Amino acid sequence: MYISYAFFVSIVVATGPATHVLRHDPTTWVYITTVMVTAMLLVRFSFRYPRMLSLVTGIDSAPAVAGHAASLNVSHT
């Protein structure tokens, strides 16, 4: 969860300066549109790649949620 958030923030932070350099200081709506479109196009990347990264490295992506889910394991008879 934290890894995918970091990927999403890095996409947004990288898109802003790239828009400034490529468009030579455009208006505000161009920044907003560019960031939103880029985020929507890369949403699959920003959620799938961190999950794969956590599987390969063994880093738990949401340790609090995983512990809470294990404590809720109740059998229904």
What local confidence, expressed as pLDDT, does residue 2 receive? 77
Q: How many CB atoms neighbour CB 51 within 10 A?
A: 13
Distance of alpha carbon 64 from alpha carbon 3, whole angstroms: 14
User: What's the whole-model pTM score?
Assistant: 0.61
What local confidence, expressed as pLDDT, does residue 53 receive? 80
**DSSP code of 25?**
S
> Which residue type, as a one-letter code, is found at position 20?
H
Share of the chain above pLDDT 90, in %: 25
- The 3-state DSSP class for residue 38 equals helix
Distances (CA, A) of 24 to 14, 31, 35, 68: 15, 11, 16, 49
- Give the mean model confidence (pLDDT) for residues 41-51: 81
